[in-house]
Amino acid sequence: MNKNTHYQNLQPNYLFKEITDRAVAYTEAHPEHKLLRMGVGDVTRPLPPAIIQAMQKAVAELGQAETFRGYCLEEGYEWLRQAIIDNEYTPKGIDLDIHEVFIGEGAGSDLGNLSELFSSDNKVAILEPTYPAYADASIMAGRPITYLPCHAENGFVPELPKQKADIIYLCFPNNPTGTVLTYAQLKEWVDYARRNGSIIIYDAAYVAYISQPGIPHSIYEIEGAKEVAIEVKSYSKSAGFTSVRCGYTVVPKETGLQAMWLRRQCTKYNGTSYIAQRAALATYTPEGQAGIHANLDVYKATALLIKNGLQTMGYEVYGGDNAPYIWCRSPHGWDSWSFFDHLLRQCQVLCTPGVGFGPSGEGYVRFSAFSKSEDCIEALQRMKEQI
Amino acid sequence: MNKNTHYQNLQPNYLFKEITDRAVAYTEAHPEHKLLRMGVGDVTRPLPPAIIQAMQKAVAELGQAETFRGYCLEEGYEWLRQAIIDNEYTPKGIDLDIHEVFIGEGAGSDLGNLSELFSSDNKVAILEPTYPAYADASIMAGRPITYLPCHAENGFVPELPKQKADIIYLCFPNNPTGTVLTYAQLKEWVDYARRNGSIIIYDAAYVAYISQPGIPHSIYEIEGAKEVAIEVKSYSKSAGFTSVRCGYTVVPKETGLQAMWLRRQCTKYNGTSYIAQRAALATYTPEGQAGIHANLDVYKATALLIKNGLQTMGYEVYGGDNAPYIWCRSPHGWDSWSFFDHLLRQCQVLCTPGVGFGPSGEGYVRFSAFSKSEDCIEALQRMKEQI
């Protein structure tokens, strides 16, 4: 038996382990100090009552013979796929067939698993700094990767690949920089993909955080995108479902990949939890919408609070307006870990060193807007006292 | 962009579509006749109260700030992994480390995704007739497959592969034939794998249905198996979780694959639903055990009812004693679809044509024990009247 030797090319991923180790070491030395965790990419606010009730009802159904149900279709219940089309796409003037929407248990899985629709010789382009999963999936498949640097000097807008890229991973609003692209900027990518027969895998996990008018919420708002783009969405950050597990992937027939994805899911996936699908459907009721928007409004307000607070102190910051992440330049020319250590030791504030997302992240750190606003206010106060 | 061209080698899988089409056509022509579905591989009995309560509690926690939680570790909560070791392995004298147990959302996904730990040049051996997913995953990866026929003439015990097989998919108790292997028979496979450096992927989805004493419930009961076997388990058929979605995969460190599977899951999986993990944990409480065994006892009794009823009528049947499937030879030398059509038209009974599971399934049909026992009794009665 021969192992997949491409795994040997993976870099050990110690970012969050290293953060944890340093935090633990500090806490052991200073148990009296409360650490404020400002870098965690996970939701913290409870699910709204409308969603809890929908889940309780679904659970109760599974306990009664008359209402018990087993396997669903691998692609998900029609009522959820239709609700997604009716709520997320039709209002934007995007016309999708129910067979082009695939319910899954989260973007992490679909982003990884889409990789197998392509042969290993495809060249990949990935923005950098980046959520590591796109790169790792490409390395596991043995595909060569071109990284497209995003930094303050280019306004975090990546240049089109100079070499032909067959598979392009885009994420907007961006984790970790918080960048959004305009229609015109996204159209350059769609046009590039159309010219080159490329596929764009568009991670749209954070579109619920967009506040700026006119910023596209779906790649399919761009003319021609249905030929070249697969869009991956998740209820994790938009509705708080990180422990519920539900998302969906759109594979338009024009990409030529819809039938392959269906076959892949029918072979390697046995469907999404009934409870999770009922929870997702509940997000589209008026009460569900009110509830998730109440939570989103808190996270968005926290993002602005962090951004404005840092700017007031003289930090150079990006993001925060259209994403739950604030990308902050280290002061004094410090590298990412030096700024991390300063914040930990002097302020007992934890952030995420930007270099952990790629070389263009060096000299930046990421703050997340998911922490309680009281903790953010305290963190900013501690940072102010240390200036 | 180049697609994964191995997908072109997949056979269209029309088994369940064809069954549905023929059932629908019959019902349209004879709406007055009630069809009895005796071939469906899905549970039907509601979840026990102890499990429903655990799920309700988990859902309620997600609705309160003090108890809300987000992402879990990709490999699953320690309390569930430990419970699996304490309940499923330690009592059998099998010693596993918590890091060797990986919670997932179902066997279907893990069986498919394990494929990527191996390079594409590995030769695969698969029993036949078979659940199609192992073969399809292998074809998608471009691996050559040797099928090992199982039929009445060899007692449904496959011969060891004559050519060297690098990856061997075994499923015992078997879907669709209901066969179980003894310790000695399984040891031949483990010894083969050890001699040849092969990996056995052991689908143990149905071990909860074993009634015969002395039949192994885990591949790791076999000496040396930890070096060569990955075991895939699911709560779907043992606890009724087909719409809840929870399972686990054991990857012993001795296989040399544990770190790779961990890396794969940390890249392409964001963890299993909290609700599903609490449900799984509840299956190990005394009330949970009582509840799931009550359901299992009904399915097991139904399996015996079907088997004995068919035998009494003179049918040649296999399985049913240690699996929820009964494998029945078509009478009069009929092929599978002819027997299917006869049962549909003359008795309004639906089964699953064995040829849909592979060429060695030709001339057999599969009955499932998940249907209500009243329906089974009626189905057998209708068949008796037609003899």
Same-domain pairing of B183 and B266: yes
Q: How far apart are CA A160 and CA A189, in angstroms?
A: 7
Contacts of residue B56 in chain A, CB cutoff 8 Å?
A: 56, 59-60
Token pair listed for B326: 């009964």
CA-based end-to-end distance of chain B: 58
Q: pLDDT confidence of A40, banded at 50, 70, 90? A: confident
Contact A312, A383 (CB under 8 A): no
Q: What is the residue-level pLDDT of chain B in tens, covering all 387 positions?
A: 999 999 999 988 778 889 999 999 999 999 999 999 999 899 999 999 999 999 999 999 999 999 999 999 999 999 999 999 999 999 999 999 999 999 999 999 999 999 999 999 999 999 999 998 999 999 999 999 999 999 999 999 999 999 899 999 999 999 999 999 999 999 999 999 999 999 999 999 999 999 999 999 999 999 999 999 999 999 999 999 999 999 999 999 999 999 999 999 999 999 999 999 999 999 999 999 999 999 999 999 999 999 999 999 999 999 999 999 999 999 999 999 999 999 999 999 999 999 999 999 999 999 999 998 899 999 999 999 987
Give the per-residue pLDDT at B14. Answer: 78
Query: What is the least distance, in Å, from the CA of A12 to any CA of chain B?
Result: 9
Q: Which of A284, A307, A323 is the last residue of a domain?
A: A284
CATH number assigned to the domain comprising residue B54:
3.40.640.10
pLDDT at residue B12, as a whole number? 83
Please report the pLDDT score of residue A350 as a whole number: 96
Report how many domains make up chain B: 2
User: Mind telling me how many Å the CA of A266 is from chain B's nearest CA?
Assistant: 9
Residues 232-251 of chain A with CB under 8 A from chain B are 236, 240, 242-245
Tell me the chain B residues in contact with residue A7 when contact means C-beta distances shorter than 8 Å: 117, 260, 263
CATH number of the domain at B316, please.
3.90.1150.10
Chain A CB within 8 Å of residue B117 CB: yes
B71 contacts on A by Cβ (under 8 Å): 42, 242-243
Separation of alpha carbons B59 and B53, rounded Å: 10
Q: What percent of chain A has pLDDT over 90?
A: 96
For chains A and B, count residue pairs whose Cβ atoms are closer than 8 Å. Answer: 223
Residue with tokens 């055990």: B289
B59: left (phi over 0), alpha (psi -120 to 50) or beta: alpha
Nearest to B1 among A52, A122, A273 (CB): A122
Distance from CA of B286 to the nearest CA of A (A): 18
Same domain, A246 and A263: yes
B125 with B260, same domain: the answer is yes
Nearest CA in chain A to B260: A7
Clarify whether residues A299 and A314 are in a common domain.
yes
pLDDT digits (tens, 9 = 90+) for A252-285: 999 999 999 999 999 999 999 999 999 999 999 9
Locate B304 and state its tokens. 């015996």
Q: Are residues B138 and B114 in the same domain?
A: yes
**Are A78 and A156 part of one and the same domain?**
yes
pLDDT computed for residue B149 by the predictor? 97
- pTM: predicted TM-score of the whole model, two decimal places: 0.96
CB-based contact, B132 to chain A, within 8 Å: yes
Query: Are residues A205 and A79 part of one domain?
Result: yes
Contact indicator for A61, A68 with CB cutoff of 8 Å: yes
Q: Are residues A57 and A185 in the same domain?
A: yes
> What was the pLDDT predicted at A15?
87
pLDDT in tens, A173-190: 999 999 999 999 999 999
Phi, psi (degrees; rounded to nearest 5) at B170: -120, 145
Which residue range forms the structural domain that includes residue A62?
50-284
Residue at which a domain ends, from B226, B254, B284: B284
Among residues 194-223 of chain B, which lie with CB inside 8 Å of chain A? 197-199
Taking the C-alpha atoms of residue A300 and residue A209, their distance in angstroms, rounded to an integer, is: 7
For residues A167 and A296, membership in a common domain is answered with no
- Same domain as A243, residue A303: no
The 10 Å Cβ neighbour count of residue B244 is 26
Give the chain A residue whose CA is nearest to the CA of B269: A109
HSE on the CB side for A185, CA within 13 Å?
16
Half-sphere exposure of B335 (CA within 13 A, CB side): 7
B240 and B367 assigned to the same domain? no
Residue A2: its chain B contacts at CB < 8 A? 118-119, 121-122, 166
Q: What is the pLDDT of residue B201?
A: 98
The token pair that represents A250 in the structure block: 């759109």
DSSP B296-321: HHHHHHHHHHHHHHHHHTT--EEE-S
Contacting residues of B for A108, CB less than 8 Å apart: 268-270
Same domain, B10 and B155: no
pLDDT digits (tens, 9 = 90+) for A87-119: 999 999 999 999 999 999 999 999 999 999 999
Facing A2 at nearest CB: one of B105, B119, B132: B119
* Domain endpoint, select from B235, B269, B284: B284
Side chain identity, residue B35: L
pLDDT of the residue at B310: 97
Whole-number mean pLDDT of chain A?
A: 96
Task: Tell me what percent of the residues of chain A surpass a pLDDT of 70.
Answer: 100
Q: Do A43 and B72 touch (CB under 8 A)?
A: no
Q: What is the pLDDT of residues A366-385, one digit of tens each?
A: 999 999 889 999 999 999 99
Tell which of B66, B243, B264 to mutate to test the A interface (max A CBs under 10 Å): B243
Strand-pairing partners, residue B3, are A118
Average pLDDT over residues A231-248: 98
Interval B155-168: pLDDT, tens:
999 999 998 999 99
Token pair, residue A164, equals 């032909």
